[in-house]
């Protein structure tokens, strides 16, 4: 009752209380249908506010506290994507509220220290969920894991550390990444492209080690599947890198002017070398130096 009253005055406070206190109750085995219904009614009322999306997404972090923290988001994902045999009457209602609550859960300032911690937590739980044998959950979990990778490249290194213990889940994420690439290019900055490329190389080394060790048939097959996926992704990353490098070189030649660079052929060679090395900070410095000379 107190939470319902608080929600009428401030829906952010209401959602915060719901996600931290009531949502965990729904996931417990002791939660009966009547309690589940009342808990859903409260959040449905909160989300029915015409300005709910704007208020909740913009205020996803309140005084340093997230309205929906990663552990609560994990519960929400599992409730919205249960195994077909575990669906209940309330499942459709969770499916209905999931898109907006997901948006609130993933909202935040990209690149901030707090958001980096959040994305790493979300990546860890998503990777785990992707390997639990529930195809519906795995598809959504893999998409969330890819979101985390694109938001925070530190997750790439984290993935490398978790890889061998989450091999099946990693294959699911790799396949999902390839599928998304077929639909539309995955948006990555040059630095992110380099980081992901290095991660693919690292994962391929782990695949080679796993295949060399032999082991049980299931793992052997997973390592083979993973290596095929890593090879495809590496190829796509190389293509992206080639395009970016070509554009960068063309832009430099046009901007610097033929007169400046033709008089200094060594500058052209140096700029090309820097582009090839992907050191864009030094690359920019060299361009500026060319203009000054």
Both tokens of residue 281?
Answer: 């900070």
Q: Contact at 8 Å (CB) between 17 and 69?
A: no
Which helix (H) or strand (E) covers residue 61, if one does? Answer: strand 61-62
- Model pTM score: 0.78
User: Binning pLDDT at 50, 70 and 90, where does residue 269 land?
Assistant: low
The CB density around residue 233, as the number of other CB atoms within 10 Å, is 21
The tens digit of pLDDT for each residue in 71-108 reads 999 999 999 999 999 899 999 999 999 999 999 999 98
Enumerate the β-bridge partners of residue 61. 66
First to last CA, the chain: 73
Q: Contact at 8 Å (CB) between 136 and 84?
A: yes
pLDDT value of residue 279: 44
pLDDT value of residue 176: 94
Q: Could you give the 3-state DSSP secondary structure of residue 203?
A: helix
The tens digit of pLDDT for each residue in 9-29 reads 689 999 999 999 999 999 888
User: Binning pLDDT at 50, 70 and 90, where does residue 293 land?
Assistant: very low
Both tokens of residue 212?
Answer: 């060399």
Count how many Cα atoms sit within 13 Å of the Cα of residue 261 in the half-sphere of its side chain.
19
Strand ranges, E, within 68-198: none
Q: Which residues contact 277 (CB under 8 A, 6 or more apart)?
A: none
pLDDT value of residue 31: 87
Q: How far apart are CA 71 and CA 38, in angstroms?
A: 21
pLDDT value of residue 275: 46
**Residue 188, pLDDT above cutoff 50:** yes
The tens digit of pLDDT for each residue in 149-176 reads 989 989 999 999 999 999 999 999 999 9
Task: Please name which of 154, 42, 149, 62 lies closest in space to residue 104, comparing C-alpha atoms.
Answer: 62
Both tokens of residue 84?
Answer: 């077909």
User: Binning pLDDT at 50, 70 and 90, where does residue 193 land?
Assistant: confident
The tens digit of pLDDT for each residue in 24-47 reads 999 888 889 999 999 999 999 999
């Amino acid at each position: 009752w107190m939470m319902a009253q608080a929600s009428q005055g401030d829906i952010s406070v209401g959602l915060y209380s719901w996600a931290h206190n009531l949502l965990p109750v729904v996931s417990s085995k002791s939660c009966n249908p009547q309690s589940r219904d009342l808990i859903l009614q409260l959040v449905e009322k909160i989300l029915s506010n015409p300005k709910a999306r704007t208020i909740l997404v913009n205020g996803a972090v309140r005084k340093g506290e997230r309205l929906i923290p990663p552990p609560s988001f994990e519960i929400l994902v599992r409730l919205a994507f249960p195994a077909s045999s575990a669906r209940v009457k309330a499942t459709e209602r969770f499916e209905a509220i999931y898109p907006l609550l997901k948006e609130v859960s993933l909202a935040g300032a990209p690149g901030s220290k707090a958001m980096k911690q959040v994305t790493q937590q979300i990546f860890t739980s998503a990777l785990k969920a992707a390997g639990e044998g529930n195809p519906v959950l795995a598809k959504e979990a893999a998409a969330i894991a890819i979101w985390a990778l694109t938001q925070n490249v530190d997750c790439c290194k984290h993935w490398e550390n978790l890889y061998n213990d989450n091999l099946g889940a990693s294959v699911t994420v790799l396949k999902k990444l390839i599928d998304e690439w077929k639909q539309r290019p995955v948006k990555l900055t040059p630095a992110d492209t380099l980081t992901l490329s290095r991660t693919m190389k690292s994962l391929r080394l782990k695949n080679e080690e796993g295949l060399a060790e032999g082991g049980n048939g299931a793992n052997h097959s997973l390592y083979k599947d993973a290596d095929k996926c890593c090879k495809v992704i590496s190829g796509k990353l190389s293509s992206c890198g080639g395009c970016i490098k070509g554009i960068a070189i063309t832009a430099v030649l046009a901007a610097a002017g033929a007169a400046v660079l033709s008089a200094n052929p060594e500058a052209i060679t140096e700029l090309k070398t820097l582009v090839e090395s992907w050191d864009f900070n030094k690359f920019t410095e060299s361009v500026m130096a060319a203009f000054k000379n």
